[in-house]
Amino acid sequence: MGKRIGHRTVKFTNAPAIISFASAAGENEKKGPYGGYFDLTFDDGLWGEKTYELAERKMLTRVSQEALKKAGLTPADVSYMLAGDLLNQIISSGFAARALEIPFIGLYGACSTMAESVMLGAMLADGGYALNVLCATSSHFATAERQYRNPLELGTPRTPTAQNTVTGAGALVISAQKADFPAVTFATAGRVIDLGINDVSDLGAAMAPAAAETIVTHLEDTDRGADYYDYIITGDLGTFGSEMLLRMISGTGRDISANHRDCGVLIYGGDKKMGCGGSGCGCSAAMMCGYFLNEMKNGRINRMLFTATGALHSPTSMLQNETIPAIAHAVAIENGSVV
């Protein structure tokens, strides 16, 4: 148990490196303030395919190929692909893995999946069970909207707390070979927290308690102050959920307001047409693999805590009036010069 510290945190003594990353985004995301950071963009939801599901599959496959290309690797060089998405039976990930022909471990953590994949990928690399691990996830506005909420043709208006599912994807390669790249140094696994919310248009509020609990646990386990990190990044709490998060953490005697950033708040730049901001697996994945890791690569960020959040409900559970349980996983990513 030498790698485990505190309640739920793992220290990666070999500090597996993130040697490449790539991102993809749709039309609305490209128009946002971070549009120039995405490697692949497209101007319509179908991206030349017959269905939105095929478009999401294509997006995840292409972004994974781009990450491998940047690393100078072929699929044969990769030990495992860890991926998940929001669709039933994670079909985007399964079909992308079919195309890539990489040993596949399918994940489902809802919108926490990117952090979950990085955490597990780092464990595999740090433990000597893998040399290179591909971590990836995606979401698509059209596929998620009609699965979880309403038919697109219905034109249902958003409630004040609703968010817009991001059409986007991110992929990165974790390597056991030490190099001058950002390293995954710690990971804190989340607990499922349920605030009792049953409104699918208020996911930020449902997920905020899980994010707060994981962040506080991570800081306690590592004996770090919030100011140790340049940024404490959450996945897709949106404006309302982010406000809740800051209040909840403040109640523990900590203050992360100066260095907290939420991918859902950032990706659309506060565009009111997008409600409280972005959501979906692709929200944190595209921002992490598009903007934040690029900033780290260029030395403008040295330490960040990436905490992706997920709402673990389903269409069936909502029809049965169940509440929305949520989870958040956190991974610490640090530049090699400061590890």
What string of H, E and C letters represents the secondary structure of 132-176? Answer: EEEEEEEECHHHHHHHHCCCHHHCCCCCCCCEEECCEEEEEEEEC
Q: What is the pLDDT of residue 152?
A: 62
Domains 4-175 and 183-334 are alike in CATH topology:
yes
Fold of 183-334: Peroxisomal Thiolase; Chain A, domain 1 (3.40.47)
- Encode the chain (339 residues) as per-residue pLDDT tens digits: 468 999 999 999 998 999 999 999 999 999 999 999 999 999 999 999 999 999 999 999 999 999 999 999 999 999 999 999 999 999 999 999 999 999 999 999 999 999 999 999 999 999 999 999 999 999 999 998 877 766 666 566 677 788 889 999 999 999 998 778 999 999 999 999 999 999 888 999 999 999 999 999 999 999 999 999 999 999 999 999 999 999 999 999 999 999 999 999 999 998 878 889 999 999 999 999 999 999 999 999 999 999 999 999 998 998 899 999 999 999 999 997 555
Q: What is the pLDDT of residue 153?
A: 61
User: Cα–Cα distance between 168 and 242 in angstroms, integer?
Assistant: 21
Q: What is the pLDDT of residue 179?
A: 74
Q: Give the CATH number of domain 4-175.
A: 3.40.47.40
Beta bridge partners of 254: none
Q: Kindly state the helix (H) or strand (E) to which residue 265 belongs, with its residue range.
A: helix 263-267
Rg of the Cα trace of the chain?
18
Q: How are the residues of the chain apportioned to helix, strand and coil, as percentages rounded to the nearest 5? A: 40, 25, 35
Measured at the CA of 132, the angle between CA 131 and CA 136, to 5 degrees, comes to 150
Q: What is the pLDDT of residue 338?
A: 55
Q: What ranges do the domains of the chain cover? A: 4-175, 183-334
- Cβ-in-10-Å burial (0-12, 13-18, 19+) of 245 comes to buried
